[in-house]
Structure 1
Amino acid sequence: MKQLFYLSTFLFLVIACEEQTDGEIKIGRNPVKTVDNTISTDFNANQFSSATEASLLKELKICNVNAPNDTDEDNPACSPKFFRFFPLAKNIPLKNGFILLVKAGVGGHPLRRILIFQREKGILVKLNGFNGNLIEQRPSKSGYNDIVVRFPDNIDNSLIYYNCLFQWKNGKYDYKHCEVIDEGIPRNVKAEFIDSMGVEIKKILDKNNMIF
């Protein structure tokens, strides 16, 4: 994997100056009651809900239908041990659109990947790709859930994670901003910095080829 790009001094200063005693950078908005839409994926316990999922994987040619087992990441079987499906939108059948989470290591990719497909003129077309983990889906008026993707970065040999929001726009998911920076302790980004920090983090994601 390409060497990861370093977080700018500007971002460090914002975190250092805004760190609170409870370990968070306060967003500064009125608290509201929310439903927990977070996602956690254990591929060892993952199961397909129908034959549709295996059929879609075969259609994408992303796995080996003749693989002798489901333990070889370099020769992945069309198995829930390697792939997890999420609906793309509430009014779109899974066969016509879905979010696919791929286990880290599959096909030689060291990170989890998110692939988003929608069927157009009978063919599955990739709309988005992310080298990150899907950690949340939030209901949206568009019918397409907002998604939160967790991206890793390497700062001075220490892992940092960015939890970034994507919203449906013009037929695909569009980067909005990053809400949390996690250096071992998750810190919400303060409201007045969320746009400027979002721009800087997007540069890092692009440099590291985290969005494709």
Structure 2
Amino acid sequence: MSTLSLSLRTSHPSTSSLSKRLIDIIGSLIGLLILALIFFPIAIAIKLDSHGPIFYSQKRYGLYGKTFRIYKFRTMVQNADALKASIKNEAKGLIFKNENDPRITRVGRFLRRTSLDEFPQFWNVFTGEMSLVGTRPPTRDEVVHYTAHHWQRLNVKPGITGEWQVNGRSNIKDFEAIVALDLRYQKLWNPWYDLVIIFQTVFLMLRQTGAY
């Protein structure tokens, strides 16, 4: 499964908005500039803390179910995906969460708490695969169980941040609640609303709220 059935696609105004794309380009350039400044200290810390690459990449599902490769700073041990089945899922539904996930490294916990692990995704935004604001991009083991209702959340581009992140993030452990927030975003969306969510995200990052 790589694309959403044509019968389930609904054109959302955000996907063709020049204002949203302009915000994404400006925001991604700022994010990439910050990434350039923090890259070497973070890369050194990751390498000193655990064996493995600096970056972690994974295939995710974006707009209309189109696949793309997401990039993050690595926050887990190198074979984390293979170990996933042995970790208890504390979330409900088609999302995986574990507050004390043993796969997360010491540096990884700091990167997650400060959201610094997300900065490589500004490249995904710059290339147009993601947006600054949108839905959390799901993995294959999640979308294979999607119903038509769940697919509606992918009628907008996936985002670095969104309703889920500013309304609880990791504290929200019910997938259906996340879907409801994603659909709420689609209903309320306008370029100004994206800016509101971006500023809320920056505030929460500074407070290190809701992330693990």
Could you say whether these structures have the same fold, taking a TM-score greater than 0.5 normalized by the shorter chain as the test? no
TM-score (norm 2): 0.29
TM-score (norm 1): 0.29
Please identify which structure carries the higher helix content: 2
Which structure exhibits the higher relative contact order, with contacts defined as CA atoms closer than 8 Å and separated by 6 or more residues? 2
Please identify which structure carries the higher strand content: 1
